[in-house]
Each structure stands twice: as structure tokens, then as C-alpha cells.
Homo-oligomer: A and B are copies of this chain.
């Protein structure tokens, strides 16, 4: 199912960077969920370029929900949200037509779709399409918050500048809500901004890593094999352009450890079974264990840079040079955080609905 995320709660994406509208259809939402348009706007604003460390293309992200909501609440029927594309400068793309931008999908899309692809701004591959994902994520996150599930993502590193990891996860998630730059250690925000601006000045871009936490999940979500929590989250996360790695809990740091150093002992404290450490990131055997689900993602530097590059022109069939104009992000690490929150919310809500049935996003579990 090409553009669909989820098994019982599903999100279908559509739209292109320079198309008329982009949007999403959400199906399987419990009926009766309050749809707070202000909260959707807030979440979209977190994803929107800030003009300084991000692309100069700023969309107002005006949206309308054309189905599935009645009297301000979800009806249980599919919800369609539409977002307008307005600030479009397609000429930037048509003049470069045929010049495959390195590390972008231009060449793969061209071959895959036989030359019929909408090449403007990356078409359906564009990060622009994450806007409806964020809008949908906002609706679902509101519902999850009501039943005790909270999600937050921060920049774990950018261009070599490090943030601290989650420690007191719930309050850390809370603290992220009001921040423009989602860093747990705000002391490093200047360094991060400077690193991005320094790359921007040279027409270059930087990568980074993120860390996401989900708290409040019951024990027992996910499945032993192909629908493990790690499988479900990673499938969603790798749909986001630029993500090239994911690790749960200690992740790659497990490789050099012995089990005696990293096994998470279980203990019952105050009537609740917890683990003394959370090196497994809240997941054992693919199933949630009640501890916070924690994962980190690797984000590559935005491939669109204005530095001259070597490439192949699939129209002239020649090797040529490319200098990208357009409007691009010197870093997407800040803007990707609300997208990670959104896909996490969708995946978790789907796992809940699968285990507890259709109504659980309204009634809890």
C-alpha cells in the first residue's frame, strides 16, 4: 500500500510540492475526538520555516478539513485535510529540468515514473508533503494526550553540537512544547544556530540527529515479528526524507557492550513493574514494556545546496554541472522534529486501536 501508513488507523498522503493542494485522509479514528484547529495551527507552525535557519519558501499552511468532522468532533468516517500550496516558484525547477540533483530523488523518480513525474520541487517526494502529516499528527496527539500518552522530539545533535538526552522524560517533553529550537539544553541553541548559519553562508547544509520519546503507553503494544514496535516506528520514520538511520534505546551503542552491563533489570516499585535502566528504549521482544519508548534518528544534510556539483542530465544524456538556485533549508533538523512527533503519534494510535479496538482513542485503554 504505497502511500498509506497504519493498519487500523491509516493515513493516506497525497500531493506535490508545486501542486494545487496537498493533504491526507485519516481513517479509523475513534468517533467523538475533539478537533482543535488552533492546535493544528500550532503544530504546523513548528514545522514551518523560520526564515533564518530554514528555507525562504514560507507557506501559510492554510488548511481545511472537508470530511470526517461534524460539530467540531470526529465522526468516525474518514477525515480529509487539505492544505493549499501558494508560495510556489516552479520556474526555479523547470530551467534545471533534466539535471538530477545529487542525493535527491530526481533521477530515481525519472526512471521509476518513465518521465511522467511532476519534477517541480521534488513533486510527491518533497518535504512539503510532511505538512499534512503534521496536521494529522496534531489531531491524533490531542486525543493521545487526553488518554495519557505524550510524545516529544528534540535535536540530539546538529553539525557536531550536542544536546543532552532525555532524563526526566515527561517533564522534558513538556518543556519542549514552548521552544522554537527544540533543544533540552537551551545553552547550546546559539551554537546550533551558528553552525547552521555558517553552512548556509557557504551555500552548504548540515545534518544532525534527533531523539524522540513516547510516554504513557500500556505494556503489550506491538507484535513479536513484523509488526514489532521497532518495525512499525522505523517504517514510518524512514518515509521522512533525509532520515538515514534509527536506533532504539542504546541502539548502536549496544554493539560494544556486554549483556551484564546493559540488561534492563525488572523491579516492582510502588505497585508498578519498571526497569531499573531503559537501555532497550521501552521495547522488549518488539512489545512495549511500559517504560518510555525512546529512539534516535540520523538526518543527513539537506542535499539541496548552491555549491556547484557534478551530475548527470537525463534529458541531454550528458554529464554536466549543476548550481541549484531555488529556496532551500541549510538544515532540516529543527523542522523534522514535529514530523517525527506526528508519525510517532500515528503509529502509536494505530497500535492502540489494533489492541483495544476502535473506540480507545476516545475512551482510553
Contact = CB atoms under 8 A, between A and B. Distances in A.
A76 B230 contact: no
A134 to B, nearest CB: 14
A60 interface: no
A103 B264 contact: yes
Nearest to A118: B70
A118 B115 CA distance: 42
A236 B226 contact: yes
Interface string A246-262: 11111111111111101
Given A116-B73, A234-B231, A311-B266, A3 B257 contact: no
A107 B289 contact: yes
Given A32-B114, A125-B285, A298-B247, A259 B77 contact: no
A113 B311 contact: no
Given A254-B298, A312-B268, A105 B14 contact: no
Contacts of A16: 67-68, 70, 75, 77
B206 A309 contact: no
Interface residues of A, number: 149
A153 interface: no
Interface string A173-198: 00000000000000000000000000
Given A32-B116, A67-B15, A262-B300, A231 B226 contact: no
A57 interface: no
Nearest to A159: B256
A66 interface: yes
Given A226-B236, A230-B243, A244-B247, 13 more contacts: A12-B27, A13-B78, A68-B124, A74-B116, A103-B280, A107-B219, A207-B256, A207-B258, A235-B235, A239-B286, A260-B305, A354-B357, A356-B358
